[in-house]
Structure 1
Amino acid sequence: MKLGTYLTGDGLRAVALQGDQLVELGPSLRDLLAGGPEALDRALAASGSGHPLAYERLGPMVADPGKVLCIGRNYAEHADELGNQTSARPEVFLRSRTSLAGPRRAIAQPRVSDQMDWEVELAAVIGRPGRYIAAEHALDHVAGYGVFNDISLRDFQNAGKQWTAGKNFDGTGPLGPFLVTADEVLHPFDLALTRKIVEPDGSERVVQRSNTSLMVHRLPEIIAFLSLFTTLEAGDVIATGTPGGVGLGRKPPEFLRPGQLLVSAIEGLGELRNPIVTEAD
């Protein structure tokens, strides 16, 4: 099943994809996940208005997560290209809800930075809450998966020891296009990831190509570690890190510019298509 959020006349609403139609399930996907499978079944049975699928109106697949927990340096190739080492335990940073964006939303290059970089990542969404979760049971807590685009403003990220500023510019974290429920993702540890850049003249190139099998810390280990210090709640998003091929790791470094289109794809989960634009005055 594919779940997400859709912009209607009444604001963002939780939806399910049925054929080529989106049916409304309620105001909040996070609340539906918190109610467990029974709540989702009830919402589907009583589903309301239908809408033709228009990707441009999709919001982040979970629009109101309590937490967005991101893992850094989780692919050895990426750590190496930036002159870093992988860590013995997951490297964690947080993103805010306001940094998220829909799967087709334009990303504005901030006027205060010219070092906007790309990172394609597998995202997992918590369904069943928990604390002190054992790794062998961790995937039982996952509601589903999607694609995350962890756009990073490198000059802000690297200005100090904390990454918060460079990872939290408004609208720099496209998430979606849908939450593909866990029962439809049989092998989350063997999914191909790709990132393409399409130039204004239509030419395109693949800048990231990898597989989730190459993660240093796999999702069960990540969930177990995160749950040592925080209660994982329904709707929480976990971004599992990016592989090699980012702009900062190139020689010379390469950064995004208005007019380009980012296409971020993960096998079986769909793709994000985000144009880069100039920030409005």
Structure 2
Amino acid sequence: MAYATYEFEGRRRVGRVHGDRLVPLAGLTELGRDTPADVLATAAELPEEAVRVADVRLCPVVPNPDKIICVGLNYLTHVGETGRALPEYPVLFTKFASSLVGPDDDIVLPPESVQVDYEAELTVVIGRPARRVSRDDALDHVLGYTVANDITMRDYQYKTHQWLQGKAWDRSTPLGPYLVPPADADVSAAGIRTLLHGEKLQESDTSHLIFDIPTLVSTISEFTTLLPGDLILTGTPGGVGYRRDPQLFLTDGDEITVEVDGIGRLVNRVRAES
């Protein structure tokens, strides 16, 4: 089972994925705060209004999350290539909903940056409010998983010791294509990789996360209430373009692919902002 937020004939809807078709759910217009786990599980299907995936625009799985919280330096290989010390507490930063684009949308290349980088990430979608939850209870608050490419403008990221200005550019972060519920997802050791024009640049699996998903949900919920639809991008493995020799950055016309086994695959073109 999987879910999508999609647009068809000018209307936004939530659909369950049935093969190559989407079956809309009655009364739901997008995944997010108004679709906690109980609502999503009990929503009635409208099979007479099913559409082909090929005929719709897939939106970011959660188009308007209240929070997008991202984790840096969460794979040993990425910590190693940066030369930093192993973190004792998750390195956290935020993005905004305006950063998100759909799984088939173009990544917008801004004229101000010449160091646009890729980062494959497994993404957690919250399904029940979570505040000060224990690690043991944390997964009870997860609605499901999806895929993100945490596009980063490195020349802006390193202007200061804070990362926000390099991470939160408009129309830069693909998210999708589908939400996969925990019952249908094994993220204990899911393969994760990035390919540029078919060449593999990153590869690892989620068993190598320094801070695992229950730890992240529990830690973040200590200081803020996680709401249905909130996103946690769990970090990227080694192989980012900034740390390669020679460095490798995205350019106009590139095709970048991010995959998480069992969760989904993003394929996006990079286009210069017009």
Q: What are the residue-to-residue correspondences of 1:41-120 with 2, within 5 Å?
A: 41-45=41-45, 49-54=49-54, 57-120=57-120
Q: How does 1:147-158 map to 2 (within 5 A)?
A: 147-158=147-158
Which residue of 1 is the match for residue 4 of structure 2?
A: 4
Matched, 1:143 2:143: yes
CA drift at 1:192: 0.3
Distance 1:56 1:82 in 2: 40
Q: How far apart are the structure 2 equivalents of 1:55 and 1:239?
A: 29
Supply the distance in 2 between the matched residues of 1:22 and 1:59 (Cα, whole angstroms): 13
Task: Give unpaired runs (5+ residues) of structure 2.
Answer: none
Give the Å deviation of 1:49: 2.7
CA displacement 1:65-99 (0-9 Å, x = unmatched): 11011000001211221222231011110110000
Is the CA contact (8 Å cut-off) linking 1:82 and 1:248 kept in structure 2?
Answer: no
SS in 1 for 2:44: helix
Task: Give the corresponding residue for 1:30.
Answer: 32
> Does the 8 A contact of 2:120 with 2:148 survive in 1?
yes
Task: Please state how far the C-alpha of 1:120 moved relative to its aligned partner.
Answer: 0.1
TM-score, length-normalised on structure 1? 0.92
- Rounded to whole Å, the distance in 1 between the matches of 2:92 and 2:12 is 29
The answer on whether the counterparts of 2:23 and 2:45 sit within 8 Å (CA) in structure 1 is no
Q: Does 1:15 align with 2:9?
A: no
Unaligned 5+ runs, structure 1? 199-203
Note closer, same or farther for the CA distance 1:2–1:77 as it changes in structure 2 (3 Å cut): same
Kindly indicate whether the alpha-carbon contact (under 8 Å) linking 1:144 and 1:182 is maintained by their aligned counterparts in 2: yes
Alignment partner, residue 129 of structure 2: 129
- Would you say the 8 A contact 1:75–1:86 is kept in 2? no
Contact preservation (8 Å) 2:24, 2:46? no
Task: Note the C-alpha offset of 1:56.
Answer: 6.7
Residues 4-59 of structure 1: per-residue CA shift (max 9 Å, x gap): 1112233432221123211222212114532x32x224423456732111287101
The question of whether the paired residues in 2 share the 8 Å contact of 1:68 and 1:238 is answered with: yes
User: For structure 1, which segment, 232-241 or 79-88, has the greater mean C-alpha deviation from structure 2 after superposition?
Assistant: 79-88
Aligned ranges 1:220-231 → 2 under 5 Å: 220-231=214-225
2:269 is the counterpart of 1:275? yes
Identity of aligned residues (%): 38
Give the conservation status (yes or no) of the 8 Å contact 1:115–1:154: yes
What's the CA shift string for 1:182-207, capped at 9, x where partnerless? 1101x312100011000xxxxx3100
> 1:109 and 1:130 mapped to 2: Cα distance?
35
Find the counterpart in structure 1 of residue 233 from structure 2: 239
Q: In structure 2, do the counterparts of structure 1 residues 150 and 56 end up closer, same or farther at CA, with 3 Å as the change threshold?
A: farther
- Of residues 249, 254, 257, the one that matches 2:251 is 257
Query: Equivalent residues in 2 for 1:168-179 (5 A)?
Result: 168-179=168-179
Report if the CA contact (8 A) 1:126-1:237 is conserved.
yes
Partner of 1:190: 189
User: TM-score, normalised on structure 2?
Assistant: 0.95
Contact kept in structure 2, 1:55 and 1:104, CA below 8 Å: no
Q: How many residue pairs align between the two structures?
A: 272
Tell me if structure 1 keeps the 8 A contact 2:7–2:56.
no
Deviation of 1:247 after TM superposition, in Å, equals 0.2
Is residue 24–residue 45 contact of structure 2 (8 Å, CA) maintained in 1? no
Q: Which residue of structure 2 lines up, in the alignment, with residue 201 of structure 1?
A: none
Task: Return the alpha-carbon distance in structure 2 between the equivalents of residues 55 and 108 of structure 1.
Answer: 23
